[in-house]
Amino acid sequence: MGDADRIAKVGILGSGIMGAGLAEVAARAGYDVVVRSRSRAAATAMVESIDRALTKAVERGKATEEERKEILARITATDHLGALADCDLVIESVVEDLAVKQALFAELEQIVKPTGILATNTSTLPVVELAMVTQRPDQVVGIHFFNPAPAMKLVEVIRPITASDATIATALEFAKSCGKDAVEVADRAGFIVNALLFPYLNNAIRLWEQGTATMEDIDTAMRGGCNFPMGPFALLDLVGLDTSLAILDALYAEFRDPNYAAMPTLRRKVAAGQLGRKTKRGFYEY
Ligand SMILES: NC(=O)c1ccc[n+]([C@@H]2O[C@H](COP(=O)([O-])OP(=O)(O)OC[C@H]3O[C@@H](n4cnc5c(N)ncnc54)[C@H](O)[C@@H]3O)[C@@H](O)[C@H]2O)c1
């Protein structure tokens, strides 16, 4: 049986888009949270960004001023990995690079107390390859949140073949305690959501490359015809074309399914630095 009650303190590694969201989610759920970034300035900036998000929530009547203060009081920012020693759960959310994550897991193994669960927020990487650099592969799991973490309802709990049932159950209970819908998934590239979403996005590019319809009309069709909140090209630009390409490459490397073979336009746009909204130009201009 899992036991989310035994989790009191949660460590978050990485202060990017996802790290900040994860810290907010865990602190809102009542956990003590330590966020660790390589620089103290980045960790402090992250807490400030959480404060801004909470202030907006108060303005919109979604939280009280009292709650804002309580949530912030639960979050500590640090640049010191040793501050994670007494965490019951650590969620790593740094750059999507296996070597970087493996080096961090090897360090965490030395630092975090033996009963601590070590989790990764990876979108595509094999969780077992992180488990195997530790001496506690049974306590390593994927806990995959979606962007933006405070708003998105889903968490995929990834079960590497090394994980114990108790670890998986605790991860599922932790996600539920954060108010999320949790699903359990085997440790395969793309898990559920990205494995199903990315062939669709890739095939939208194929349809456009074949001259079947314009980008605008494909987006209009999928919004109006499937009730999707946004069309595939708008979504690719939002996710980031570099991230999208990395996900497709990981899926193709694992399954060799032609639907996962990234379309040439996607690869060329990434080569040209047209990465979507973040560079103000992707499939659309912003
Ligand atoms: N962006 C998304 O939509 C999304 C959604 C779900 C999961 N994820 C996953 O979350 C993780 C983080 O993604 P993100 O979007 O927050 O990225 P980001 O680029 O916003 O942040 C990356 C973080 O990693 C840190 N970092 C970079 N190199 C490092 C190194 N060598 N050592 C330690 N830290 C380093 C950076 O300082 C930064 O804090 C990735 O594994 C990604 O696949 C992303």
Q: What is the DSSP string of 92-158?
A: E---S-HHHHHHHHHHHHHHS-TT-EEEE--SSS-THHHHTTSS-GGGEEEEEE-SSTTT--EEEEE
Q: Which of 24, 93, 144, 202 is catalytic?
A: 144
Task: Provide the token pair at 249.
Answer: 């490459």
Task: Check residue 4 and give its pLDDT.
Answer: 67
Q: Taking Cα atoms as reference points, which of 35, 36, 41, 43 lies closest to residue 75?
A: 35
- 80 among known catalytic residues: no
Q: Which of 159, 110, 111 is nearest to 139 (CA)?
A: 159
Short-list 119, 45, 120, 35, CA closest to 79: 35
What is the residue with the minimal CA distance to atom 4 of ligand 1?
147
The per-residue pLDDT string of the chain (286 residues; one tens digit each, 9 = 90 and over) reads 456 678 999 999 998 888 999 999 999 999 999 999 999 899 989 999 999 999 999 999 988 999 999 999 999 999 999 999 999 999 999 988 899 999 999 999 999 999 999 999 999 899 999 999 999 999 999 999 998 899 999 999 999 999 999 999 999 999 999 999 999 999 999 999 999 999 999 999 999 999 999 999 999 999 999 999 999 999 999 989 998 999 999 999 999 999 999 999 999 999 999 999 989 999 999 9
Task: Give the Cα separation of 272 and 25 in Å (integer).
Answer: 36
Known catalytic residue at 70: no
The Å distance, Cα 13 to ligand 1 centre, comes to 9
Q: Kindly list the distances between the CA atom of residue 222 and the CA atoms of 51, 200, 201, 237, in Å, as whole numbers in the listed order.
A: 36, 11, 11, 16
- Return the amino acid letter for 124: T
Distance 83 CA to ligand 1 centre (A): 20
Which residues lie closer than 8 Å to 38 by C-beta, 6 or more apart? 79
Expressed in angstroms and rounded, the spacing between residue 159 Cα and the centre of ligand 1 is: 21
Please indicate, yes or no, whether the overall pTM of this predicted structure exceeds 0.85.
yes
Rounded distance between C-alpha atoms, residue 9 and residue 187, angstroms: 26
Cα 245 from Cα 275, distance rounded (Å):
10
Instruction: List Cα–Cα distances, 242 to 73, 87, 129, in angstroms.
Output: 36, 33, 23
Q: What is the largest CA-CA distance in the chain?
A: 57
Determine the angle formed by the axes of helices 65-73 and 17-28, rounding to 10 degrees. Answer: 110
User: Which residue lies with its CA nearest to atom 34 of ligand 1?
Assistant: 94
Probe target for ligand 1 pocket from 18, 25, 123, 147, with the most ligand atoms within 8 Å of CB = 18
Residue 281: strand pairing partners: 276, 285
Q: Which of 15, 24, 121, 156 is catalytic?
A: 156
Q: How far is CA 42 from CA 20, 78, 232, 245, in A?
A: 10, 9, 33, 27
- For residues 21 and 204, give the distance between their C-alpha atoms in angstroms, rounded to a whole number: 30
Q: How far is the CA of 246 from the centre of ligand 1 (A)?
A: 13
**Is 202 close to ligand 1, i.e. is its CB under 6 Å away?**
no
Residue 59's identity, in one-letter code, is E
Let me know if 216 is a catalytic residue: no
Pocket test for ligand 1, best of 35, 78, 93 (most atoms within 8 A of CB): 93
From CA 21, how far away is CA 94, in angstroms rounded? Answer: 13
Contacts of 49 (CB under 8 A, 6+ apart): 20
Q: What span, in angstroms and rounded, lies between the C-alpha atoms of 21 and 19?
A: 5
Q: How high is the pLDDT of residue 152? A: 95
